[in-house]
Chain A
Amino acid sequence: MSLPAVRTDYINATKGWKSWLTTLDHKRIGIMYLLFIAISFGLGGFFALALRMELLNPGKLLFTAKQYNQLFTLHGAVMVFLFIVPSIPASLGNFLLPLQIGAKDVAFPRMNLMSFYLYLFGAVFCVYSMVAGAADTGWTFYTPYSITTSTSVISMTLGAFILGFSSIFTGLNFIVTIHKMRAPGMTWFRMPLMVWALYATAIIQVLATPVLGITLLLLIIERVAGIGIFDPALGGDPVLFQHFFWFYSHPAVYIMILPAMGVMSELVTTFCKKNIFGYKMIAYSSLAIAIISFLVWGHHLFVSGQSDYAAMIFSLLTYLVAIPSAVKIFNWIATMYQGEIDLKAPFLYFLAFLFLFSIGGFTGIMLGSLSLDVYLHDTYFVVAHFHYVMMGGTVMAFLGGLHYWWPKMFGRMYSEGAAFVAWLFIMVGFNMVFFTQFLLGTKGMPRRYYSYLDQFQPLHAFSTSGTWVLTVGFLIMAFYLVESLLNGKQAPDNPWGGLTLEWTTQSPPITENFLDTPIVDCGPYEYDKVKV
């Protein structure tokens, strides 16, 4: 090895588990988040495997109807609240944000640690709900079913309520950090686009999450005290719950996707060695998406009986929010023009996002159309659509970002060959599982069905077999990533030739991030001016 064997970095600066549990270092907090987010993904994935197994044939295979309903509820709740909402911002974002803007830490390090403990505390409630008669309402907790079911809805919603605070804390911290802690010379338009994306995300986290908190609190009050808010038997209005719920949960979709788009901008510039095409358009489109995302929640309620005029306006606004997303896709593709494209694992996930998210977007156009949504609403078409957006979009970008920043986070390289094989399995498996579900939905197969008509069986079986391919892909990935931690080659400071500030410090960085405060005098991706 040419590099010195031991250098001081944030990992070996202090020793012992106590030094981790009480750390205020944003990098360590990001790593701890990453660990629990990975565990949550594994757990949610396990539930998905189990419920797809049940759907191998109509009628009972392994579980009763109630157990199946609990499985898809747990899959949804774990994946949304414990995995995908915190995934990129809390793990990669926490690790990177101060590094990318040349700061020593986030603005409020103690609040950052608090947000991590709130995450764990909320997770405890969710896990408690799993063992104490898991909720069977679906992750949407629609009333009045969620008020009348005997399962442990309260602990699950309380968990989501607490996790909401964790999310708000992260968002607040990021907003203040971005405003106040940028390195000298880093103007707003010299920030990496990942930072713009995290900023837009943080705005939604801070403004929308309280509404979810209030809604879940009202639900708990109604269940405990019998005060009529959503339950018609008590004089409440069940559709009101849907409005409240989606007022958070639709913007939350953008909490999930905006950071992923930030990662995409980083990947395309580094692996094409190109300055980004349309920097300002990408930055502004993040903000545009963040704002319009507050005004489209009603497209989840097209068949709920809401007024036709409301439906019309929500449909129109839904199409407006599609445009900034499409613009970003075109900008990334234009960035590839005349580049030097390096097909390393992170860029493979960039390509995966590009294709899968586009399919998610096109099918979103179908669902946004009122008379077509009447037919497709609550069928497998919707299930396939949001998995293409969430898993095909966010998860692919998350994996791309994870591989991209892995050497920076742990100072180790992973096996590029194994990464390619895992990527192949994941791509094939994903499309087997979910493209099939577009067909099922178009044929009229409703979602959340324990049993189904015999004619759907071949497609269901094919979809289920895809989950096994997908699992193999993720197992390979888990294996080579752990292997890299144990025996990986030591990573250079800048293995990919990135230009953003995190690549100017050592891998892994020292606790204070930089030896000297960086001074910024150009944009983040000026590959035409700098030679790496």
Chain B
Amino acid sequence: MDNKIVNESLIAGKGWFPADVSTFGNYVDSLYSFILWVSVILFVAITIVVVTFVLKYRKRPGYVQPGGEHITHNTKLELAWTVPPLILCLFVFYWGFTGFLDMSVAPKNGEEIHVVGKKWIWQFEYKNGTKTLSEMVVPVNTPIILVMTSEDVLHSFYSPNMRIKRDVVPNRYTKIWFQATRTGNFQIFCTEFCGDGHSQMQGTIRVVSAEEYKDWLANSGSADDGLPLEKLGEKVYSAKGCVACHSIDGSAMVGPSWKGTWGTSRPMTGGGSVIMDENYVKESVNYPIAKVVQGYQPVMPSYKGLLSDREIDGVIAYLKTLK
């Protein structure tokens, strides 16, 4: 539907996995392969035994069941199928646990980014006050520590490529860290069910070189200055999370569609109507609950302070093009 470019990163992996681009990847993937192949071997062994028994002992003309007392115990056999699986399980437990500790304990020299999850966008805040929506820019080969919290319900921050996931909980901070090993755009999903826009609560981790990161942090936002307003609005629409709830093809999602609404009279919840003009759009961006279109829930988060004036102008210009 959107964000087609970032999706590329999900398919380019070894085997069934998405590309492994963090320091955790190798560890997690080898553990997976180990359990997978041990399981395949055991499953094939079980299948061979069962199929052999079925063929050999199946009731058929001329077959006589072996007589004598049935074997109901065999201590050696029972130990053989209890103890080795137990040892194997304990080994897998240990392997899984040590890796988990590495994922939990962040290095001290990491770059800290504050993550806020809210229905249905990801917001990132950097030490120098830079805020971004849906896109997190990070330097390559540097530990990144995410300190996360939610403004409403549970969310979960999941980057398949980085092999990390952690719930984002209201009124509490959760932490996770990763270190990217190559540059590129990588997918972020929300993996804790959070309502109508859950599947649209996506984002991108943009991994760049250390120099590029420094530059970006120093003049964040200025890269968009050259864009014409309509193009800027289109970019904001998909990059800042509007796409999660507002369609541009007329279909009703969590919020009303943007198509063909500009300049029309909109019926409001609680009676009355409002003309869809510049002031209404700006008010709805900053104070979304003030005037809600009839038939929709007052669930949109406020974008106050998250969109620049020029970006709001861009959205307005973009809305005008959606006839």
**Beta-carbon nearest neighbor of A529 in chain B:** B69
> Which of A363, A371, A377, A443 touches B96 (beta carbons < 8 Å)?
A371
Q: Is B28's CB under 8 angstroms from A375's CB? A: yes
Is A327 touching B28 in the complex (CB atoms < 8 A)? Answer: no
B32 touching A336 by the CB < 8 A rule? no
Query: Are B191 and A379 closer than 8 Å at their CB atoms?
Result: yes
- Chain A nearest CB, measured from B47 CB (Å): 7
B53 pairs with A333, CB closer than 8 A: yes
CA distance A366 to B170 in the complex (A): 29
Write out the residue numbers on chain A whose beta carbons fall within 8 Å of the beta carbon of B1. Answer: 58-59, 451, 454
Q: Judging by beta carbons under 8 Å apart, are B81 and A327 in contact?
A: yes
Shortest A360–chain B CB gap in Å is 11
Question: Within 8 Å of chain A (Cβ to Cβ): is B280?
Answer: no
Is A444 among interface residues, defined by CB-CB distance under 8 A? yes
Q: Mark B1-39, 1 if CB is under 8 A from A, else 0.
A: 100100100110000111000001001100110011001
**Residue contact B154 to A60, C-beta cutoff 8 Å:** no
Q: Is A484 an interface residue (CB 8 A)?
A: no
**Is B264's CB within 8 Å of the partner chain A?**
no
Q: Mark A440-454, 1 if CB is under 8 A from B, else 0.
A: 001110111111111
User: B227 near A: Cβ within 8 Å?
Assistant: no
Interface: A527 (CB within 8 A): yes
Bitwise, B245-258 to A at CB < 8 A (1) or not (0) is 00000011110000
CA distance A473 to B118 in the complex (A): 43
Q: Distance (Å) between the CB of A80 and the closest chain B CB?
A: 16
- B297 contacts A453, C-beta separation under 8 Å: no
B-side contacts of A450, CB under 8 Å: 196, 198-199
- The answer to whether A341 and B54 touch (CB under 8 A), given A276-B72, A370-B100, A454-B7, is yes
Q: Which residues of B contact A58 (CB under 8 A)?
A: 1
A333 near B50 (CB under 8 angstroms)?
Answer: yes
Interface residues of B in 137-176 (CB under 8 A from A): 152-154, 156, 158, 160, 163-167, 169-172, 174
Partner of A374, one of B100, B171, B200: B100
Distance between Cα atoms of A95 and B299 in the complex (Å): 51
A273 in contact (CB, < 8 A): yes
Instruction: Quote the shortest CB–CB distance from A220 to chain B (angstroms).
Output: 18
A121 interface residue (CB < 8 Å to B):
no
Task: Report the Cα distance A369→B89, complex, angstroms.
Answer: 9
Nearest Cβ distance between residue A421 and chain B, in whole angstroms? 19
In the bound assembly, the distance between CA atoms of A329 and B42 in angstroms comes to 12
A305 within 8 A of B: yes
| Interface size class, chain B | 35 or more
A488 within 8 A of B: no
Q: How far is the CA of A393 from the CA of B31 in the complex (A)?
A: 26
Q: Is the CB of A341 within 8 A of B53?
A: yes
Question: Is A42 close to B, CB under 8 A?
Answer: no
Nearest residue, chain A, Cβ from B88: A365
The reply to whether A144 and B152 contact each other, CB–CB distance below 8 Å, is yes
Q: Is residue B86 contacting chain A, with contact meaning CB distance below 8 A?
A: yes
Which listed residue, A275, A316, A339, A444, touches B10 by the CB 8 Å rule? A444
Q: Does A203 contact B (CB under 8 A)?
A: no
CA distance A75 to B53 in the complex (A): 38
Q: Are A369 and B93 in contact (CB under 8 A)?
A: yes
Measured in the bound complex, the distance between the Cα atoms of B71 and A304 in whole Å is 48
Whether A340 and B72, one on each chain, are in contact in the complex, defined by CB atoms closer than 8 angstroms, is no
Q: Which residues of B contact A366 (CB under 8 A)?
A: 32, 35-36, 39
Within 8 A of B (CB), among A91-110: none
A277 within 8 A of B: yes
Q: Is B290 an interface residue (CB 8 A)?
A: no
Question: What's the nearest-Cβ distance from chain A to residue B82, in Å?
Answer: 6
Query: With a CB–CB cut-off of 8 A, which chain A residues contact B39?
Result: 362-363, 365-366
Q: Are A372 and B96 in contact (CB under 8 A)?
A: yes
Residue of B nearest to A279 (CB): B72
Contact of A368 with B by CB under 8 A: yes
The answer, yes or no, to whether B112 is at the interface (CB within 8 Å) is no
**A322–B142 alpha-carbon span in the complex (Å):** 39
A503 to B46, CA, bound (A): 32
How many angstroms from the CA of A69 to the CA of B196 in the assembled complex?
7
| A442 near B17: Cβ-Cβ < 8 Å | yes
Min C-beta distance of B232 to chain A, whole Å = 25
Central interface residue in A137, A279, A334, A355, by most chain B CB within 10 Å: A334
Pick from A275, A281, A354: contact of B50, CB under 8 Å: A354
Q: With A and B bound together, what is the CA distance between A316 and B98 in angstroms?
A: 13
Q: Which residues of A contact B270 (CB under 8 A)?
A: none
Q: List, in ascending order, chain A residues with CB within 8 A of B28's CB.
A: 371-372, 374-375
Any chain B CB within 8 A of the CB of A418? no
A338, B57: Cβ atoms closer than 8 Å:
yes
Q: How far is the CB of B45 from chain A (nearest CB, A)?
A: 10
Decide: A371 and B31 in contact? CB cutoff 8 A: yes
- Structural contact, A305 and B172, CB atoms closer than 8 A: yes
A369 contacts B96, CB within 8 Å? yes
List residues of B (54-75) whose CB comes within 8 Å of A's CBs: 54, 57-59, 63, 65-74
B57 near A340: Cβ-Cβ < 8 Å: yes
Chain A positions within 8 Å of B53 at CB level: 333, 336-337, 339, 341
Residues of A418-470 whose CB lies within 8 A of B: 439, 442-444, 446-455
Q: B59–A340 contact, CB under 8 A?
A: yes
The listed residue with most A CB atoms (<10 A of its CB), out of B27, B82, B171, is B171
A308 interfacial contact with B, CB 8 Å: yes
A439 CB to nearest B CB, Å: 6
Q: What separation, in Å, do the CA atoms of A439 and B164 have in the docked complex?
A: 18
Residues of B within 8 A of A451 (CB): 1, 199-200
Contact A278 B57 (CB under 8 A): no
Q: Is B77 an interface residue (CB 8 A)?
A: yes
Q: Say whether B59 contacts A308, CB under 8 Å.
A: no
Are A323 and B70 in contact, CB atoms less than 8 angstroms apart?
no
Partner of B156, one of A277, A303, A336, A449: A303
Segment from A170-178, A179-187, A231-239, A505-513 that makes contact with B: A231-239
Q: Are B165's CB and A65's CB within 8 A?
A: no
Say whether A355 contacts B35, CB under 8 Å. Answer: no
Is the CB–CB distance between A323 and B89 below 8 Å?
yes
Nearest CB in chain B to that of A322: its residue:
B89
| Cβ-defined contact, A453 with B10, below 8 A | yes
Check B90–A274 contact: CB distance below 8 A.
no
Q: Give B4's nearest chain A residue, CB to CB.
A: A454
- Having A137-B193, A450-B198, one finds 7 other A-B pairs with CB under 8 Å, namely A148-B153, A327-B82, A341-B54, A371-B102, A371-B103, A375-B165, A377-B165
Q: List 16 A-B contacts (CB under 8 A).
A: A142-B193, A233-B170, A238-B170, A303-B156, A311-B100, A322-B89, A342-B58, A351-B54, A369-B93, A369-B95, A371-B99, A372-B35, A374-B103, A375-B163, A442-B17, A453-B7
9 A-B pairs closest in CB distance: A444-B160, A369-B96, A371-B99, A232-B171, A370-B100, A362-B39, A449-B199, A319-B89, A340-B65
